Structure 1
Amino acid sequence: MVVSHRTVRTEQADLRLSQSSGSGLPIVLIHGSGSSRAVFARQFDSPLAAAHRLIAFDLPGHGESSDARDPANAYTVAGLAQSAAQLLDIMGIDRAVVFGWSLGGHVAIELASFHRAVAGLMLTGAPPVSKGPFGMLRGFHAHWDMLLASKKTYSERDAERFETLCFGDTADPSFRQVILRTDGRLRAAVTRGMFTGKGADQKQVVEQAAFPVAIVNGENDPFVRLGYFETLAYGSLWEHCHVISGAGHAPFWEHPDLFNPLLVRFVDSVVMHGVDETMLARRRTKIG
């Protein structure tokens, strides 16, 4: 199994990505605010990368990607989803499972609202909330630490606190610098956009999804209200809302031994869902 790296130029930013040489259904991994594709190292170091084409990229303003050329439009959930969509189109990906973590989960939901390539959606630390402030308050805990999500300029102390909130005491030594590298204009713009209700109604997207939707959260996530996920009227929820014991905001990093098998099972179910849909379409064609 080989992991390759390249930079793809999109309208808003030059996106740095990594992909594995696996031949199975592509799995697109979208990281959270203040992070980078490096957070998925424990998926790339697993059998997943040999079985499937893992694709992880740095969002605009993050990691090794460039800052946005037009921050006002690019640094919204909708703008980030458009960049992701362009990346998929350039790479010729017409069907994939998309896993989104935290901000990346909201980007993934937005992407799923308009891009046909999304065959399955897995979310971690990203409650699908209705538009506006009341939706946000239902899905997220309201406490002072949440202000870090919208703070434009981070001090070293801010970066340390945000790192702890995201990873507990499990962070890689490189994560602090990745947090400090992030374009702070994005944090303020994304939070403002979610509170003002721009973009798709994420609750509706998830509830009305025709493709399988998986929910996997950490038991001790400091940001999200786990009970909120149980209130949604899912149309195609995979199994049930999974909670990984002892994990925080990033269970795929903290407990890959528990998370990765869930992702494998989910991808297998998406593949079978696609087979079933194809067979049903053929039957309809014959009947017609």
Structure 2
Amino acid sequence: MTKRPAPFATHLISGYGGCPISVAEYGTPDGPPILFVHGWSQAHLSFARQFTSPALAGFRMVGFDLRGHGASGKPTDPEAYAGSAPWGGDIAAVIEALSLSRPLLLGWSMGGKALCDYLALHGDAALSGTAMIGTGPTSGKYIPPEARELRMADPDVLAKGMLSEVLAENLSATEAFLHACFHQQPAAEDFAAMMGFNMMCPPEIRGQTRQRHADYRPAARATQHPCLVVWGAHERVMPKPIFDECADEFAHAEAHVFEHSGHAPFWEEPERFNALLAAFATRLFGGAST
């Protein structure tokens, strides 16, 4: 079982439109900042293996629960999830509230779309760099056609039951979706924790947050700082055409394939991932983490 991370600080800040955003900080308070953005139906604890990593302990690691997820506010108005303003606005609010100086912004899966929402609104001038993990610069109808075909053929990835109000159906679909996220499956205790925080995202909000159509390629091309692009060779949720597009569209991309991972390389191959992220971040911050 993975060690549960212990934050050195927690916050409840006001995000876009006043939505309460739950934030936790790990690592070293005065270290170079890395801001982690989790995926659809998940929570910031998806990154437990980073928050407890000795390789990353010298950084100020900030995780927050996206609106509608985890311990953050769950507005019911569909407008609270529409367009780039809510998602990019929440990231900007976390950066401002915690006075994060030129953070490395990391997004996994749908968190990468939120990262791109931030870029579409603000660019990357206030960042040191970005990291796109199992994600890409398009969503919905804009993703590469080959990727759409693969996703549509995988019912566990489509996870239609996760939008159901029928609890048994919802639980079954959530369990199948989580298994689809991993090539190397989590231990039973870790999988149980993941099920717990996934079920904190209500079915209605799951639907509102997944059905988005956006083309962030212009924002990716306009970036001025390096982008770490990571993809698992056994990926089902974000097939390879999405990875290829991400590596091609970000102006200063550094692409890596994790041969023994699925959708969550940071969990499945944590030692390699943490070493890679630490080295990338150290270069960005000029060696200030050690």
**TM-score when normalising by structure 1:** 0.82
Matched, 1:152 2:163: yes
Alignment of 1:59-74 (within 5 A): 59-68=66-75, 70-74=77-81
1-side partners of 2:39 and 2:91: how far apart? 14
**Alpha-carbon contact 2:69-2:201 (below 8 Å) kept:** yes
Q: Structure 1's 166 and 228: CA in aligned 2 closer, same or farther, altered over 3 A?
A: closer
Matched, 1:187 2:206: yes
Aligned-pair CA distance for 1:6: 2.2
2-side partners of 1:47 and 1:184: how far apart? 36
2-side partners of 1:189 and 1:120: how far apart? 29
Question: Counterpart of 2:253?
Answer: 237
**Alpha-carbon contact 2:134-2:231 (below 8 Å) kept:** yes
Alignment of 1:35-50 (within 5 A): 35-50=42-57
Letter in 2 for 1:152: L
**Alpha-carbon contact 1:63-1:182 (below 8 Å) kept:** yes
2-side partners of 1:190 and 1:17: how far apart? 20
Alignment of 1:154-233 (within 5 A): 155-168=170-183, 169-170=185-186, 172=190, 173-194=192-213, 197=214, 201-231=215-245, 232-233=248-249
**Alpha-carbon contact 1:218-1:243 (below 8 Å) kept:** yes
**Alpha-carbon contact 2:56-2:274 (below 8 Å) kept:** no
2-side partners of 1:69 and 1:234: how far apart? 34
2-side partners of 1:252 and 1:236: how far apart? 21
Q: Point out where structure 1 has 5 or more consecutive residues left out of the alignment.
A: 275-288
2-side partners of 1:249 and 1:2: how far apart? 25
**Alpha-carbon contact 1:26-1:52 (below 8 Å) kept:** yes
2-side partners of 1:16 and 1:27: how far apart? 16
Question: Counterpart of 1:282?
Answer: none
**Alpha-carbon contact 2:224-2:251 (below 8 Å) kept:** yes
**Alpha-carbon contact 1:68-1:75 (below 8 Å) kept:** no
Which among 101, 113, 116 is matched to residue 120 of structure 2?
113
Aligned-pair CA distance for 1:136: 5.0
CA RMSD in angstroms, aligned pairs only:
2.6
Matched, 1:126 2:142: no
Q: Point out where structure 2 has 5 or more consecutive residues left out of the alignment.
A: 1-5
Q: Structure 1's 128 and 138: CA in aligned 2 closer, same or farther, altered over 3 A?
A: farther
Q: Specify the SS of the correspondent of 1:62.
A: coil
Q: Percent identity among equivalent residues?
A: 25
Question: Counterpart of 1:34?
Answer: 41
